[in-house]
Structure formats: C-alpha cells, structure tokens
C-alpha cells in the first residue's frame, strides 16, 4: 500500500551538534567531535518526535507507537531554493600551476584478457570487477574544493554531459567567491558548496549545589554551522491512523544540546523527482551508475545484499527496487566507511557504532535486462539500503541509502562478456 507523502522543511536556527561514534566521557579536556553533515537517523528520530508532540497537542488521543516507525527520508539540503547533493566520490580536484581549480575523475575500464580488478585473485568478487582507469594527478591538492553539487550540475554529470573542461570556468568563479567570502551574498548561479564549517565551543561543568565551576571539568564541543538560507528537506510517509498537524509551523530541538530548528510543511515536491532530461538519458542505456545521496547500510559491508555472488542483482532487488531491470556490478568507488551511532532513549545508553557506506559513493553497473529508465521513475531518491536485522535499527525507514541514478559510458568497446550474468 502506497502511503500519502508529506514534505517537511527544516531551518536550523543554531549550530547543530551531530556527534560521531567516538567516546565522550567526563574527563579533563574531553572533546565531543561532530559529523560533517546530518545523518538521516537524526532527522528521522526528530521528525517522529515532533509529529507525536504535535499530535498530543490536538484533541485526538494518539498512540505514540504510531509514529515510532513512520518512514522518514532525508535530509536533502536546499540552499537558496536549489537542492544540493554530496559530491560523488569518483570526482577529484587539484590546483594547476596557476592555482586554478581543476577536476579529474575515475571510472572503470573493460576487462582485458579476463584480468580482474587490479589483476589479483582468481576467485571471488574481485575477479568480475573491472580495473579502474588511473588518471594521474596533474597538480597539488587544493584546500578549497566543493563538497556538494547542485541538482542541475549533478543531473548533467549523471547524464555524461560534463567533460573536465566544462568544470574549469564555473570552478574558477566559485573558488574566487569562496576566497573573497562572498559566496552567501552573490547573485550568480552557484553549482557548488564547500564543506560545512564546524563551530568549536569550550564549556565548564557546574556543581549542582554551589553553582560553581567544577575543578578540571573543561571540555570542548563541535557543531555544524550551516550557511544562511540553507534548509533541510525530508519526506514523510503518513499512515492513516497518524494525525498530521494542520498548518505545521513549530520550533523543536534537533541533535545534541537541544539546539533549535524550525519545522514547517513544504508543498513543493519537485526536489524529489528525477529531472526529465536525466530520465531520458537513461532510456535504453547499457550502463548505469548509482550515487548514494545519504549513507547506506549494506549487510556485507560495501556490498548490498541485493547482489549475488556473481555481482548480479537478485530477487531482493526485483522485490524492493525494480522487477523489470537487471544489473551487474562492474566497479565501485567508495570512500572510507562512515561511523554511525546514536543514543537509545528506551535503553538509556549509546547505540553500537555501525559502519555505513558513506554518501557520495558510486556503484557502476552494466545493464543485462530491461530499460533502466524505470530506475529513474521508481528509484530516484528511494532507499537501496538492506533491511537490517539488528533489533531497533530501521535503516530503510530512516532514509539511509537514498539513491541517485545516472548513466555512464566506458572508454572502450572491447568488453569481456565471459563474466556476464545469465539472463
């Protein structure tokens, strides 16, 4: 059954503390580290609590358990009315000899004489993976690089319409705006955002009785500082028994230290739809790629459960993502695993740290059956995470593993077909 969808706009009013998995104990000089962005579980838990509190203010008698498993998908960053997504990990940047920011990219190249990934092993997953095309670094690493791409730029990249030279002029303009600290005030069309800044604050613990500072109780916290005019959007599936607040507009805490954010309903759902030009580019494409817009949980680490031993999509993919399309994985470009933890209010203890595939990771596929345009229609910003059997973990319902689908083209046509999936 398809449930009604609602869109929520979240405007942070304070720097947000989103703790990472490192311990934070009562010791002199302790430091609470923050994530670099907001993980989906923080948004999902906050939205459920907020909706339950709004329902409690109405005259209806509401069961709080009704909201405990409401599917919430997000966050989607929207800056000045434009959605932005994490930078795909197959894109890299460097500075040339003139200090100008340039881009390069990585992608797989077809098998040669049956030689697998990096030429290692004769059994297992790596035998079927294509080797990566090595692109030499032409200059030094830049300290100013984009971390997020606009929907328009991401769509062009996923359509294969952007060559490295296409990035040069927009990157130069953006780099100058960042150096001049004029990015927030410019009227130019901006397609890139830098990493969010972190705010560090020193604190002291206070004795409850005397209201004086405790000895050796100085500690530091980090919080994410969002640029002006940035909102986070989330999509909520509402069951019939749950009451949706009329004219939603309220303040609610978000993240650690009960920092405030404003929650309101958004009537614009275009951000959650695949651009038409990108959907058309996927029509009858032979190769597709998957970019993670949010971190994903996969049962086998980097490898989804919906891939079999031959790296082909199985019945789980057919049931949860698409029955018409069958794919075979040929390469994956993945950064270091991302730790995701949290706090259990029911057990009153920290949740175990889990290893997530980070947002921006890219999976390259060969289409073995069907029209991949179906992936844009049904799979755009829908979750590809595996169902987690851990008690209390609802990664699919929390919005982990939201997917962006696009096309790509190998540099060569002599593709080894010996390892193709049986159709």
- Count Cβ atoms below 10 Å from residue 392 Cβ, excluding itself: 11
* Among 376, 93, 72, residue whose Cα is nearest residue 236: 72
pLDDT of residue 242: 67
**Residue 164 token pair:** 């490295």
Cα 231 from Cα 74, distance rounded (Å): 12
Nearest CA to 123 out of 419, 422, 423 is that of 419
Q: Does domain 276-407 have CATH number 2.30.42.10?
A: no
Backbone CA torsion sign across 368, 370, 375, 376: positive
pTM: 0.91
Q: Report domain extents, the chain.
A: 5-83+195-272, 276-407
Distances (CA, A) of 50 to 43, 224, 269: 10, 21, 21
Helices and strands: H and E segment counts in the chain? 7, 21
* CA separation for the pair 418, 112 (Å, rounded): 11
Give average pLDDT by consecutive 10-residue segment, the chain, 423 residues: 78 91 75 89 92 78 75 95 96 88 87 55 62 72 91 96 92 94 91 95 85 85 93 89 78 91 89 94 96 94 93 94 94 90 76 89 96 94 85 80 95 48 57
**pLDDT at residue 137, as a whole number:** 63
Rounded CA gap, 265 and 271, in Å? 14
Interatomic CA distance for residues 317 and 79, integer angstroms: 33
């Amino acid at each position: 059954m398809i449930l009604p969808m609602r869109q929520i706009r979240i405007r942070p009013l304070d720097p947000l503390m989103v703790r990472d998995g490192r311990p934070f104990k009562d010791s002199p000089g302790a430091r609470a580290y923050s994530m670099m962005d907001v993980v989906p579980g923080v948004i999902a838990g906050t939205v459920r609590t907020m909706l339950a509190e709004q329902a409690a203010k109405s005259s209806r008698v509401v069961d709080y358990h009704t909201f405990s498993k409401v599917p919430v998908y997000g966050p989607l960053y929207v800056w000045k009315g434009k959605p932005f997504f994490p930078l795909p990990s197959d894109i890299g940047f460097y500075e040339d000899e003139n200090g100008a920011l340039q881009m390069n990219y990585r992608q797989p190249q077809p098998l040669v004489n049956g030689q697998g990934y990096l030429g290692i092993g004769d059994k297992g997953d790596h035998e079927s993976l294509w080797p990566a095309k090595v692109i030499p670094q032409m200059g030094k690493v830049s300290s100013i690089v984009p971390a997020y791409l606009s929907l328009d730029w991401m769509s062009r990249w996923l359509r294969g319409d952007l060559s490295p030279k296409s990035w040069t002029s927009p990157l130069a303009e953006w780099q100058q705006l960042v150096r001049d600290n004029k990015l927030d005030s410019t009227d130019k069309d901006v397609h890139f955002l830098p990493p969010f800044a972190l705010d560090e604050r020193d604190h002291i613990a206070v004795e409850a009785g005397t209201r004086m500072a405790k000895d050796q109780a100085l500690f530091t916290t980090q919080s994410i500082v969002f640029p002006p005019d940035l909102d986070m959007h989330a999509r909520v599936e509402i069951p019939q028994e749950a009451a949706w607040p009329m004219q939603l507009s309220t303040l609610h805490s978000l993240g650690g230290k009960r920092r405030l954010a404003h929650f309101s309903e958004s009537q614009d759902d275009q951000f959650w739809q695949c651009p038409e030009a990108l959907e058309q580019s996927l029509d009858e494409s032979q190769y597709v790629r998957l970019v993670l817009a949010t971190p994903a949980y996969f049962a086998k680490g980097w490898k989804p459960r919906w891939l079999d031993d031959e790296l082909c999509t199985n019945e789980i993919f057919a049931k949860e993502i698409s029955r018409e399309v069958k794919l075979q994985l040929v390469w994956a470009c993945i950064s270091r695993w991302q730790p995701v933890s949290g706090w259990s209010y029911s057990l009153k203890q920290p949740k175990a740290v889990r290893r997530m595939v980070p947002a921006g990771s890219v999976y390259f596929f060969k289409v073995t059956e069907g029209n991949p345009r179906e992936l844009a229609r049904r799979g755009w910003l829908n979750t590809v995470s595996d169902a987690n059997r851990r008690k209390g973990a609802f990664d699919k319902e929390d919005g982990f593993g939201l997917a962006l689908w696009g096309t790509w083209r190998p540099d060569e046509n002599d593709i080894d077909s010996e390892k193709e999936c049986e159709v």
